Amino acid sequence: MKSRSDSSGISFTALYTGAVWCRHGLADESLATTQGRLLYALMTPLEAASQRITGGNIRTFLLQRHRIIDHLADQAIAAEGITQVLEIGCGLSPRGLRLRQRHPQLHMVEADLPDMAARKASRLMATGHLGPHHQVTPIDILAESGDQTLEAVVARVFEPARPVIIITEGLTSYFPLPVIERFWRRLGAVMAERAGSLYLSETYLIPPQPLLRASLNACARVLGRMTSSQVSFHFESGEAAETHLLRQGFQQVTAHNPEHFYGRLAIPQSRETPLIRILAASGPTGLPPADRV
């Protein structure tokens, strides 16, 4: 059995998503890997079949969530003047490079489990991108003590009391809801100390159609075995996701439907209503979860 901090399983998905970013012009070759290219080629027939049968596929959802999260982060930086960004579970995401290119004033920190963080840091260092304002650090969101906890990382890498954009893309679905709830509550406490902070993430919806639900559950079991995790679909609707995060103490939560960005952003369109929502949550009010409605 792998230890909690062993990133070798989830790195499989990081390699695949990294290849998707490269193939769609979101990343340069500095983040490309041979393994990722192979996975991309192997997955292409399955992705094509999924597109024909369901009107969408993994690549569609990946590109929808990635570009919408970018758009929401850009908006917050421009409108609110936020200059600190933390991407947790960064993998081979090119977001840090792109955000720094568009917003040179940013202090960008990418974080992942130790093995993946080391791999990312070496690639950024080789291309000259690593420096005082673009860092990579190990993190374990399940750790409750030590220098890899969420609280320790935020305190160590950012100026105190200043707002921060915290991003988790492609991370929360690898944990059952009770586990990720604890992370959300701790994240809320961190954000409460930094007024004006913003959390950006995504959630995959439980499909209402029995056949599609059974198919996705089967895919989740396979992916869970490959990544030594418990892949989970947490909510049946965007409204349910909003209500749940409010109950964790967040002040305001919006579950964005990708359909609202069709024609505005360069994202692929699903044939049916997308089974993904992009979550944007502002800092908590300080009320205990039981007092939220």
Q: What are the tokens at 42?
A: 């192997």
User: What pLDDT shows up at residue 5?
Assistant: 39
* CA pair distance 172, 39, nearest whole angstrom: 22
Q: How confident is the model at residue 32 (pLDDT cuts 50, 70, 90)?
A: confident
Q: Residue 4 domain-assigned?
A: no
Is the model's pLDDT at 257 over the cut of 90? yes
Q: Residue 221 domain-assigned?
A: yes
Q: How confident is the model at residue 224 (pLDDT cuts 50, 70, 90)?
A: very low
Is the model's pLDDT at 85 over the cut of 50? yes
User: What pLDDT shows up at residue 174?
Assistant: 86
Q: Which residue would you say has higher pLDDT here, 246 or 46?
A: 246
pLDDT in tens, 172-189: 988 999 999 999 999 999
Is the model's pLDDT at 7 over the cut of 90? no
Q: What are the tokens at 212?
A: 């599609």
User: What pLDDT shows up at residue 270?
Assistant: 87
- Mean pLDDT to the nearest integer, 237-265: 96
Q: Which residue would you say has higher pLDDT here, 54 or 269?
A: 269
User: What pLDDT shows up at residue 47?
Assistant: 67
With beta carbons less than 8 A apart as the criterion, state whether 88 and 139 touch.
yes
User: What pLDDT shows up at residue 231?
Assistant: 65
User: What pLDDT shows up at residue 169?
Assistant: 96
User: What pLDDT shows up at residue 180?
Assistant: 95
What's the domain range around 31? 10-291
Q: State the burial class of residue 291 (Cβ atoms within 10 Å of its Cβ: 0-12, 13-18, 19+).
A: exposed
Q: Give the helix ranges, DSSP H, for 92-163.
A: 95-102, 114-126, 150-157
Q: How many domains does the chain have?
A: 1
Across the chain, mean pLDDT equals 84
* CA pair distance 125, 276, nearest whole angstrom: 34
Q: Residue 32 domain-assigned?
A: yes
Q: Residue 1 domain-assigned?
A: no
Q: Residue 3 domain-assigned?
A: no
Q: What are the tokens at 175?
A: 């944990």
pLDDT in tens, 105-155: 999 999 999 999 999 999 999 999 999 999 999 999 999 999 999 999 999
CATH number at residue 52: 3.40.50.150
User: What pLDDT shows up at residue 8?
Assistant: 39
Smallest Cα–Cα separation from 277: which of 21, 64, 76?
Answer: 64
Is the model's pLDDT at 205 over the cut of 80? yes
User: What pLDDT shows up at residue 172?
Assistant: 92
Q: How confident is the model at residue 225 (pLDDT cuts 50, 70, 90)?
A: low
Q: Residue 2 domain-assigned?
A: no
